Amino acid sequence: MVGLGTDPNKCGEDCPMRGASLLARVVFVLAVVGAVSVLIATAPRAQDAAPRSDPAYRQFLLGLWTDAKAAGVSRATFESAIAGLDAPDLSLPDLVLPGKPKIDSSGQAEFTRPPDKYLDKSYLDRLAAEGRQLLVRHKAALDRIEAEIGVDRYSVLAIWGRETAFGKHKLPHDAIRVLATQAYLGRRKELFRAELIAAFKMLESGVARSDMRASWAGAVGLTQFMPTEYFLHAYDLDRDGKTDIFRSVPDALASAARQLEGKGWVRGQNWGTEVVVPPSSDCALEGPLQSRSLSEWAKLGFSRASGGPFTTTELAADAYLMSPAGAYGPSFLVFENFKVLRKYNTSDLYAVFVGHLADRIAGGGDFAGRWGGTGPQNTRVIEQIQERLKAKGFDVEKIDGKIGSNTRKVIGAYQRANRLKVDCWPTNAVLDHLQGRVSIQ
C-alpha cells in the first residue's frame, strides 16, 4: 500500500489511480486504452509502438546499479532482476509521452468515473457479506492486531477488501517491470526509482520474483504494499519468522494495520459519519480548511443521517465536511482517520469506500442518501473550469482535471457568489457561465 502525496501511485485530489483498487482499475483501463490509442494513432506500424529493445532504457537500468549496491543489493540479484527488461511497457498508464494528450479508445477525451459507480452498491454488499465471514475466520489474528497495533478489525478487513477483493484480484503485472517503466517514463520518475530500488531489496531479502505481481503502480501483496512501505511496515504477526504479505493473511492484515498506525491512526475513532446538510448550509463548506469540532457542526444544524445523536467522543473531535458528489450524493463529516485512509490512497472516494465498507462489515447499513445524477465528466472540462476559476482569483489548488474536495468547494463558492444553484459540481453549465455563455439553471 501506499502513502500520501509523495507516494507514486497517488496522484492528487481524487485521483483514483493506485494499487489494485477497483477505481484504480477502471481508470487504469481508461488510461491504458488511452495510451494504446495514442500509439495506434501515432505509430505507422504496431512494432514501432512496442520496440523489442530500447538501448537508452537498458542504459538507464544498468545505471541503477550504484544505488542498488548502496542499498545492499548483490550484483547477482540486480542482474537477475533486470534480465529481459529490454524495453519499457508502454501499455502502462501515467507515463509521460511528450505531446500525447490522454484520450480513450474511441478518440474521446478521458472521463472521470462518477461516485455512484465507484461506490457500487452491489459490489459493496458482496464485499461486506464476505467481510463478515472473514471476521469470524480470522478472529484470532484480528484480536491480536487490535491488541498489538491498535487498528480496529473492521478497517483492516475493509482495506483488504478494497485492495484485492480479499485476495481474489489477480495482479496482472510483474512489479519490477512496472516499476522500471514508471521510473524511466512515468510522471513521477524519482519516486518510482526509489520504489524500484526497494523492490530489488525485497528480492535480495528472499522474496520470490514470482510473488512480485503488481498493479500498474507496482504495489504487491494481499493488501498492496509499495516496496518502500514494505520495509517500513511489514509485520510478522503469526511469528513464524517470515513476513509474508503474499500468502499469510495474518501478516498481510497486520502489515496494513501497521501502515495505518504509521500514518497517524487514532485508536478508537471512526472515519466519519454521514450527515444531513441543513438548508442554511451547503456543499461550499467542504474541505479540511473549514474543519471545526463536531459540536460546532451540530450547532450549525448538521445531524446524523441515520438518526440518533452524535456520541460525546464525536462531538469533541474535529471534523470537516466532505461531499464527494457535491449536491448529488451523501455528505459526511469526517475525522482524522479519514485523512489517514486518504494517506493510504489520496482519494476521497477511496477513503469513503474503505470507511463505509468497514461500517458495513461491523453490521452497519447502506448510505442513507442516494448517489446519482452526476454522470461521468470530461477531464478537459474540469481543467477548463479550474483554469478559469483560478484566473478569476478563486483558491484553486491544482489544475488537474480531477474532482477533489478543493475543486468542489471552489465551484460552490463561485456558484454562491454568482447566485447560481450551488451544487459544487463541475458541470458544462458551470463552464458555460464561466465563459460568459448563459445557460445554468
| Single residue of 240, 296, 395, 432 touching Ca ion by CB under 5 A | 240
Name the minimum Å distance from CB 251 to Ca ion: 4
**Cα angle: 400, vertex 104, 325; to 5 degrees:** 50
Query: Alpha helix locations (H) across 288-427?
Result: 294-299, 312-316, 336-344, 348-361, 379-391, 405-417
Could you tell me which stretch among 56-64, 178-186, 229-237, 372-380 binds Ca ion (CB under 5 A)? Answer: 229-237
Could you tell me which stretch among 63-71, 246-254, 282-290, 366-374 binds Ca ion (CB under 5 A)? Answer: 246-254
Q: Which residue, 130 or 238, has its beta carbon nearer to Ca ion? A: 238
- Count other C-beta atoms under 10 Å from residue 366's C-beta: 14
Name the minimum Å distance from CB 440 to Ca ion: 58
Which single residue is written with the C-alpha cell 460568459?
Answer: 436
Name the minimum Å distance from CB 108 to Ca ion: 48
Which single residue is written with the C-alpha cell 482517520?
Answer: 337
Q: Which residue, 63 or 241, has its beta carbon nearer to Ca ion? A: 241
| Single residue of 67, 86, 148, 238 touching Ca ion by CB under 5 A | 238
Q: Which residue, 244 or 423, has its beta carbon nearer to Ca ion? A: 244
Q: Answer yes or no whether residue 247 interacts with Ca ion by CB under 5 A.
A: no
Could you tell me which stretch among 72-80, 222-230, 248-256, 337-345 binds Ca ion (CB under 5 A)? Answer: 248-256
Burial (CB count <10 Å: 0-12, 13-18, 19+), residue 107: exposed
Could you tell me which stretch among 69-77, 157-165, 236-244, 377-385 binds Ca ion (CB under 5 A)? Answer: 236-244
Name the minimum Å distance from CB 255 to Ca ion: 10
Name the minimum Å distance from CB 198 to Ca ion: 20
Q: Answer yes or no whether residue 211 interacts with Ca ion by CB under 5 A.
A: no
| Single residue of 236, 318, 366, 397 touching Ca ion by CB under 5 A | 236
Q: Could you tell me how many residues of this chain bind Ca ion (CB under 5 A)?
A: 6
Name the minimum Å distance from CB 138 to Ca ion: 14
Q: Which residue, 236 or 383, has its beta carbon nearer to Ca ion? A: 236
Q: Report d(CA 331, CA 103) in Å as an integer.
A: 32
Cα atoms in the 13 Å half-sphere on the side-chain side of 48 = 8
The answer to whether residues 250 and 242 touch, using CB atoms and an 8 Å cutoff, is: no
Q: Report d(CA 330, CA 349) in Å as an integer.
A: 12
- Partnered with residue 334 across adjacent β-strands are 272, 320
Q: Report d(CA 18, CA 164) in Å as an integer.
A: 12
Q: Answer yes or no whether residue 296 interacts with Ca ion by CB under 5 A.
A: no
| Single residue of 251, 261, 274, 400 touching Ca ion by CB under 5 A | 251
Could you tell me which stretch among 91-99, 120-128, 228-236, 401-409 binds Ca ion (CB under 5 A)? Answer: 228-236
Could you tell me which stretch among 135-143, 241-249, 290-298, 364-372 binds Ca ion (CB under 5 A)? Answer: 241-249
The helix or strand, by DSSP H or E, that contains position 81, with its residue range, turns out to be: helix 75-82
Name the minimum Å distance from CB 250 to Ca ion: 7
Long-range contacts of range 150-153, CB-CB < 8 Å, 24 or more positions apart? 150/257, 150/261, 150/265, 150/267, 151/257, 151/260, 151/261, 151/265, 151/267, 152/358
Q: Which three cell numbers stand for residue 62?
A: 544498468
Q: Report d(CA 47, CA 301) in Å as an integer.
A: 62
Name the minimum Å distance from CB 182 to Ca ion: 29
Q: Report d(CA 21, CA 330) in Å as an integer.
A: 22
Q: Answer yes or no whether residue 94 interacts with Ca ion by CB under 5 A.
A: no
The helix or strand, by DSSP H or E, that contains position 319, with its residue range, turns out to be: strand 318-322
Name the minimum Å distance from CB 237 to Ca ion: 6
List of residues contacting Ca ion (CB under 5 A): 236, 238, 240, 242, 248, 251
